[in-house]
Structure 1
Amino acid sequence: MKIIVNEKELKEYFDGLARLLQQNAAQPPASDPLDASTLLAELRQTIREELTLIGLEGQRDVGAYSLKKLKQVFEPYTGKPAELLTPAGTVEGTITKVGGDCLVMREHGGSSVMVPLEQLVAFQLTGKQVEQ
């Protein structure tokens, strides 16, 4: 698993957390040891939740970047015959449109099929190709 984190925000977060802990340490100790352990448990839970949120945001950013990159890869092939392999099967035809998150293929029978970019397993140009 890869987590992309803004180091500055993460440093500020932990600096703020350290200041909170120092403030609590400066106060007189709690008379009930359960209060301190409850505080620690809540603090740990908050840290876990924050780290989970940071991880999810990073994954979302990586996914959006990947889709943009795939779109750029497929745009030059608009109007060309191709074969796309997806988990649902193979789609053969001509790429008619490259959208933000999908390809539109016109199959040989004339029907159009939308293929989500995130579902592509393999891609291959078909037919006779001429280099210019």
Structure 2
Amino acid sequence: MKIIVNEKELKEYFDGLARLLQPRSAQEPALEPLNASTLMTELRQTIREELTLIGLEEQRDIGSYSLNKLKSVFEPYTGKPAELLTPAGTIEGTIAKVGGDYLVVREHGGTSVMVPLEQLVAFQLTGKQVER
């Protein structure tokens, strides 16, 4: 077996390998001394970002709680005729299914429509209602 090697490429290879194996302190240039005002600015920015993330998580949790509450409101009306108002228009039919964050309404023509609960503007039962 014969291997042909370029001497220059071989030298560059071993020099790069030596740089990788050197201790980190020898590779990194000396860091600038920390400026207190710069450090405070960076800390404040990091704290603001963390607080924003915490606020977004709380809003998401509140949204899921309200959707779960809406689901429990609609579950007793499964199988009943209803009229739903959404930003896209009015949907009239029978509530076929109540999901975690949606309703499935079967319209009079047989078409099923999935309505996200967060898109629901108004709701009312239709048809003959009997008070007990």
TM-score normalised by the chain length of structure 2: 0.73
| CA RMSD after TM alignment | 1.5
Question: CA offsets, 1:75-126, max 9 Å, x none?
Answer: 0000000000000000000001000010000001110000000000000000
Aligned residues between the structures = 101
Q: How many angstroms does 1:68 deviate by?
A: 0.2
Q: How many angstroms does 1:131 deviate by?
A: 2.6
Any residues of structure 2 matched to 1:1-132 within 5 Å, and which?
Answer: 35-132=35-132
Question: Displaced runs of 4+ in structure 1, greater than 4 A?
Answer: none
CA distance in 1, matches of 2:34, 2:98: 60
Equivalent residue letter for 1:74: F
Q: Quick one: percent identity of the two aligned structures?
A: 85
TM-score normalised by the chain length of structure 1: 0.73
Uncovered stretches (5+) of structure 2, i.e. residues with no partner: 1-31
Greater radius of gyration (CA)? 2
Q: How many angstroms does 1:34 deviate by?
A: 7.1
Uncovered stretches (5+) of structure 1, i.e. residues with no partner: 1-31
Q: How many angstroms does 1:33 deviate by?
A: 9.5
Q: Secondary structure at the match of 1:129?
A: coil
